[in-house]
Amino acid sequence: MYELVVSSIMPSVFMERKVRVFSRDSSTEKVNEVADAFKEYQRRHYGDVPKEVHATPLKAPRKRRRSAGYPADTTVLDPQESLAASKNLF
């Protein structure tokens, strides 16, 4: 008897999909264009557009790393200063 109660509550067919759409350009104009295109795709393929859409939260910008390959605590000297320092060693 319990099975009959549960089966009457559950729909006969249920489909849920989670889809993420990415855009390399994060400008507001491009993001809106991508969102509109995705809504149109959903309307054409599934006949309905979900009312609830979650945007991916923005990440904080990363700190830039030194491109010279030196550790952060290394002091890089000017070539002229380096030459003067090497002369003082001898």
Q: What is the spatial distance between Cα 69 and Cα 43, in angstroms, rounded to a whole number?
A: 50
| pLDDT (0 to 100) of residue 17 | 75
Residue 39 has pLDDT above 80, yes or no: yes
Q: What is the spatial distance between Cα 58 and Cα 26, in angstroms, rounded to a whole number?
A: 10
Residue 38 has pLDDT above 80, yes or no: yes
Q: What is the spatial distance between Cα 31 and Cα 29, in angstroms, rounded to a whole number?
A: 6
| pLDDT (0 to 100) of residue 85 | 63
What does the CA dihedral 74, 77, 79, 85 come to, rounded to 10 degrees? -110
Note the pTM of the prediction, 2 decimals.
0.42
Q: CA 49 → CA 28, 31, 38, 45, 64, distances in Å?
A: 21, 17, 9, 10, 40
